[in-house]
């Protein structure tokens, strides 16, 4: 029996809708679906809950307006489609929200808005201000300029990062599938819906398939990754079908629909959430068995003596991945020294840093407080 979903007291909700949820297979907007979505969000807003909408569909909408039969394959083609589609998409959202007496505001984000700490905090403050003014933020990737994000091509991760950014309590991922299944229900008639996931382990991750509809690009892999980010941030995630009647209202009321991913009991603090999932990884540090054990099991910082090598060029303050002798990731953290400096002091004792470099700003290459393990 699944644990009861006690969402009644939740104050802040992030809802993500995929391209298949807002557009027909032709690429034309599904106005009935969008109106239903907006009505539910407006109703939650009127009840006093704070709602943020992360929407896909800009490129798909642009494809429809341009009369194309499929998404462009080139980056400039996708950027052009996004430029056309984003304005149309936002106009429709604003029109429907205003009919229900709710003010909405467009927010376009890129990976850099999360990876740069100052921009991260600016985005957080801006979204909090919008919520204080009673505005429903309508958020999308800035596909017209964000080349890296277009290559990723999905908003599942973005919605989880937004949920973490604003300290939301519930993330709702709406798609064209009812939840997480034991197999692909479109191919296996014996596939069973999994009503709840307590922990996202290797077995759960193995259930993920490929991309979904031809107009969208996100598959189950990105949804599970989003749920994992949310879980580490102390956020509930519910994956459900956008076409079910009053699905958002029912989820918010705690009804047992879709698949719920439960948050971890010990969520990461805000700074470590940023290190783990938002900051840009700039390189890799390789450590020996002793350092790997000290980091993973003894709660130690990373000292130069345990470093055997590194990959990439990075500066002090950048985020790096730390791997053990088997090549597996141990964690990631903010480095106190550049790659050039680490190359000189790797394998050395802490007392020798000043002699090798001519100065010593820190004993640790990565301090425990700036290190996140077991991702």
pLDDT in tens, 208-244: 754 444 333 347 888 998 999 999 889 999 999 998 9
**To 5 degrees, how large is the angle CA 8–CA 46–CA 131?**
90
Q: How many CA atoms lie within 13 A of 172 on its CB side?
A: 31
Q: How far apart are CA 343 and CA 348, in angstroms?
A: 10
Q: How far apart are CA 90 and CA 139, in angstroms?
A: 10
Residues of CATH 2.30.130.10 domain(s) within the chain?
280-373
Q: What is the mean pLDDT of residues 331-336?
A: 93
Q: pLDDT tens digit string along 96-122?
A: 999 999 999 999 998 888 888 888 889
Q: How far apart are CA 293 and CA 320, in angstroms?
A: 18
Q: How far apart are CA 164 and CA 35, in angstroms?
A: 27
Lowest-confidence region among 44-48, 57-61, 195-199: 57-61
Residues of CATH 3.40.1160.10 domain(s) within the chain?
12-271
Band of pLDDT at residue 203, cut at 50, 70 and 90: confident
Q: pLDDT tens digit string along 260-291?
A: 999 987 778 777 888 888 888 999 999 999 99
Tabulate helix, strand, coil % of the chain (nearest 5).
40, 20, 40
Please count the other Cβ atoms lying within 10 Å of the Cβ belonging to residue 126.
14
Structural element, H or E, at residue 46: helix 31-46
What CATH superfamily classification does 280-373 receive?
A: PUA domain (2.30.130.10)
Contacts of 183 by beta carbon, 8 Å cutoff, 6+ apart: 190, 191, 207
Q: Are 54 and 61 in contact (CB under 8 A)?
A: no
Q: pLDDT tens digit string along 305-323?
A: 999 999 999 999 999 999 9
Residue 206 pLDDT: 82
Q: How far apart are CA 233 and CA 270, in angstroms?
A: 8
Binding residues for ATP, as ranges, are 16, 175-176, 217-223
Q: How far apart are CA 373 and CA 363, in angstroms?
A: 20
Band of pLDDT at residue 148, cut at 50, 70 and 90: low
Residue 375 pLDDT: 64
Structural element, H or E, at residue 296: helix 289-298
Closest to 346 measured CA to CA, from 300, 289, 294, 308: 308
Looking at per-residue pLDDT, the higher value among 74 and 289 belongs to 289
Averaged pLDDT score across all residues of the chain? 88
Q: pLDDT tens digit string along 151-197?
A: 444 789 899 999 999 999 999 999 888 999 988 887 888 889 999 99
Core vs surface per residue 321-342: b (16+ CB within 10 A) or e: bbbbeeeeebbbbbbbbbbebb
Q: How far apart are CA 303 and CA 291, in angstroms?
A: 8
Fold of 12-271: Carbamate kinase (3.40.1160)
Residue 116 pLDDT: 81
Distances (CA, A) of 137 to 13, 37, 127, 239: 11, 14, 7, 21
- Could you tell me what percent of the chain has a pLDDT over 90? 58
Binding residues for substrate, as ranges, are 56, 143, 155
Binding residues, as ranges, are 16, 56, 143, 155, 175-176, 217-223
């Amino acid at each position: 029996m699944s644990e009861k979903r006690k969402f009644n007291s939740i104050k802040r909700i992030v809802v993500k809708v995929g391209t298949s949820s807002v557009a027909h297979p032709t690429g034309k907007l599904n106005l009935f679906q969008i109106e239903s979505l907006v009505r539910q969000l407006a109703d939650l807003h009127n009840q006093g809950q704070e709602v943020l909408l992360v929407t896909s569909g800009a490129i798909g909408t642009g494809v429809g307006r341009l009369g194309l039969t499929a998404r462009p394959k080139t980056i400039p083609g996708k950027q052009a489609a996004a430029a056309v589609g984003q304005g149309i998409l936002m106009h429709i959202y604003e029109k429907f929200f205003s009919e229900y007496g709710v003010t909405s505001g467009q927010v376009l984000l890129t990976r850099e808005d999360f990876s740069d700490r100052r921009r991260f905090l600016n985005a957080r403050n801006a979204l909090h201000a919008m919520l204080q003014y009673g505005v429903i933020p309508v958020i999308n990737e800035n596909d017209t300029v964000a080349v890296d994000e277009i290559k990723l091509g999905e908003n599942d991760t973005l919605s989880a990062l937004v949920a973490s950014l604003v300290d939301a309590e519930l993330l709702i991922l709406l798609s064209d599938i009812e939840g997480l299944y034991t197999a692909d229900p479109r191919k296996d008639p014996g596939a069973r819906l999994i009503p709840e996931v307590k922990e996202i382990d290797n077995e759960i991750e193995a259930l993920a398939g490929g991309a979904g509809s031809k107009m969208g690009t996100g598959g189950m892999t990105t949804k599970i990754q989003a749920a994992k980010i949310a879980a580490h941030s102390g956020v509930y995630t519910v994956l459900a079908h956008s076409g079910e009647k009053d699905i958002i209202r029912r989820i918010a009321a705690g009804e047992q629909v879709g698949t719920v991913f439960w948050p971890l009991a010990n969520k990461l603090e805000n700074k470590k959430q940023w290190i783990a999932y938002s900051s840009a990884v700039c390189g890799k540090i390789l450590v020996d068995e002793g350092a790997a054990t000290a980091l993973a099991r003894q709660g130690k910082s990373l000292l130069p003596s345990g470093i055997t090598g590194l990959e990439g060029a990075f500066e002090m303050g950048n985020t790096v991945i730390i791997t053990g002798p088997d090549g597996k990731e141990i964690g990631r953290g903010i480095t106190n020294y550049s790659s050039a400096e680490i190359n000189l002091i790797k394998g050395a004792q802490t007392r020798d840093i000043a002699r090798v470099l001519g100065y010593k700003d820190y004993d640790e290459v990565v301090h425990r407080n700036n290190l996140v393990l077991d991702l």
